[in-house]
Amino acid sequence: AQKITQTQPGMFVQEKEAVTLDCTYDTSDPSYGLFWYKQPSSGEMIFLIYQGSYDQQNATEGRYSLNFQKARKSANLVISASQLGDSAMYFCAMREWTGTASKLTFGTGTRLQVTL
């Protein structure tokens, strides 16, 4: 089974609108962390936001918020007031801890295109 699933290969959103990028995950560990990264065409990986499995509130960072639904094992990224510069690939990732080891697994990504 896939650890991280991003079912939207591509998304379009108009400038200034909000958009939700879906992410579901699979783990049996009670302690884990969820991350979102942005990868523009330049190729760099930019950290956006983090949600811990024990966090009671949804994480927010500026225009980014994470809609964390633990029971559904989903961690959707919400981008408000989209800007042209938001056009990029977006990756959801999960970190699991297995004693001394830590593994950071990424989904296949969603390509977001912001239009005028």
Q: How far is the CB of 42 from another protein (least distance, A)?
A: 9
Q: Which lies closer to another protein via its Cβ, residue 18 or residue 46?
A: 46
Question: Do residues 37 and 91 make contact, with C-beta atoms less than 8 angstroms apart?
Answer: yes
Q: How far is the CB of 19 from another protein (least distance, A)?
A: 19
Question: Do residues 3 and 53 make contact, with C-beta atoms less than 8 angstroms apart?
Answer: no
Distances in whole angstroms, Cα of residue 102 to Cα of each of 1, 7, 9, 31, 96: 19, 25, 27, 11, 6
Q: Which lies closer to another protein via its Cβ, residue 101 or residue 116?
A: 101
Q: How far is the CB of 110 from another protein (least distance, A)?
A: 10
* Contact residues for another protein, defined by CB under 8 A: 31, 33, 35, 37, 43-45, 47, 50, 52, 91, 95, 97, 100-109
Alpha-carbon span 79 to 64, nearest angstrom: 5
